[in-house]
């Protein structure tokens, strides 16, 4: 058989091209950071504020802003001498908001969390006085918590539900409780509004809520909130498993793990935590 032709050697870029490409990448990063700063600066920023926020000379900041302006990613208000986000940036951002799917975004992190914690991971959203499970990544244990997508659970006694409740203001909390009540599901379910409210305040402080056999006997759960770009609760992430396997110390470790995972999903979702 004839020998295959030798693999051509990769040509080295012309002298100076590597440095040029590196400079282009650095300029791109700087421009993107400027765009992010403008997005966070309500009402616009002056050239000096942009330069200082990025640690850049004013001339460099102006060059990058002008380039972004030419592509309609930023705009300049000459009367107030303020730079702000342009129409094209809004178009790109709107495409992300339109296409983002919480299950698709959360799934890779849910898988890693299951592997790290060794327990089942759930994703749920709120609808009225209930939480609806959207997805689950089951653990490999013989005994495990199984939840079918579409299953509904009360907010006040489930891990995901209590996490979502903890992100609500007092008026919204009172309105929900007045409408849906606090029915007892197990002998551990909290049926007193003030006791539940104190529990939710503690949940907010530590960054995760706990369901200690309050929804199902023999099941313990830790859950944390996922936020949208307005800082509103959009979903909740939980780790759950048999109480026989989850001691108090392990439940605390699971809570910190699910809190960190929810933070990562919030970031990937384009959200921010405000509580």
More confident residue, 27 or 10: 27
Give the E-state strand segments of 2-129 in sequence order.
74-77, 82-85, 120-127
Which residues, including other chains, have CB under 8 Å from residue 102's CB and lie 6 or more apart?
A: 123, 125, 134, 226, 234, 235, 265, 269
Q: What is the 3-state secondary structure (H, E, C) of 182-243?
A: CCCCCCCCCCCHHHHHHHHHHHHHHCCEEEECCCCCCEEEEEEEEECCCCCEEEEEEEEEEC
Decide which of 1.10.150.120, 3.30.420.40, 1.10.3470.10, 1.10.10.10 is the CATH code for 18-96: 1.10.10.10
Per 3-state DSSP, what percentage of the chain is helix, strand, and coil (rounded to 5)? 45, 20, 35
- Residue 104 — pLDDT band, cuts 50, 70, 90? confident
Per-residue pLDDT tens digits for 189-220: 999 999 999 999 999 999 999 999 999 999 99
Using CA atoms, how far residue 53 sits from 49, 76, 86, 89, 191, in Å, is: 6, 18, 19, 20, 50
Closest CA to 56 of 35, 78, 72, 34: 34
Conformation bin of residue 8: beta by default, left when phi > 0, alpha when psi is -120 to 50: beta
- Residue 14 — pLDDT band, cuts 50, 70, 90? low
Q: Which of 16-25, 32-41, 96-105 has the lowest average pLDDT?
A: 16-25
Checking 52-56 for CB contacts under 8 A at 24+ apart, the result is 54/30, 56/30
What fold characterizes domain 100-268? Beta-Lactamase (3.30.450)
Q: What is the pTM of this model?
A: 0.67
Range(s) within the chain of domains with CATH label 1.10.10.10: 18-96
Q: Which of 4-8, 49-53, 117-121, 239-243 has the lowest average pLDDT?
A: 4-8
- Residue 97 — pLDDT band, cuts 50, 70, 90? low
């Amino acid at each position: 058989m004839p020998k295959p032709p030798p693999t051509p050697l990769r040509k080295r870029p012309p002298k100076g091209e590597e440095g040029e490409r590196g400079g282009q990448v650095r300029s791109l990063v700087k421009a993107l950071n400027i765009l992010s700063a403008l997005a966070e600066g309500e009402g616009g920023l002056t050239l000096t504020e942009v330069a200082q926020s990025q640690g850049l000379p004013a001339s460099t900041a102006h060059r990058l802003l002008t380039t972004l302006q030419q592509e309609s990613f930023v705009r300049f208000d000459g009367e107030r001498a303020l730079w702000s986000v342009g129409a094209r940036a809004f178009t790109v951002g709107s495409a992300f908001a339109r296409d983002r799917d919480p299950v698709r975004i959360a799934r890779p992190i849910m898988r890693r969390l299951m592997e790290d914690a060794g327990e089942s991971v759930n994703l749920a959203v709120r609808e009225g006085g209930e939480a609806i499970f959207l997805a689950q990544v089951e653990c490999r244990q013989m005994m495990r918590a199984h939840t079918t997508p579409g299953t509904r659970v009360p907010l006040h006694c489930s891990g995901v539900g209590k996490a979502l409740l903890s992100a609500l203001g007092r008026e919204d909390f009172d309105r929900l409780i007045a409408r849906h009540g606090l029915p007892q599901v197990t002998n551990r379910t909290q049926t007193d509004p003030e006791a539940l409210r104190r529990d939710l305040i503690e949940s907010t402080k530590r960054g995760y809520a706990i369901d200690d056999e309050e929804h199902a006997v023999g099941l313990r759960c830790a859950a944390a909130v996922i936020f949208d770009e307005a800082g509103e609760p959009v979903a909740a992430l939980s780790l759950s498993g048999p109480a026989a396997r989850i001691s108090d110390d392990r439940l605390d470790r699971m809570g910190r793990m699910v809190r960190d995972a929810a933070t990562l999903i919030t970031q990937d979702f384009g959200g921010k935590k405000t509580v």
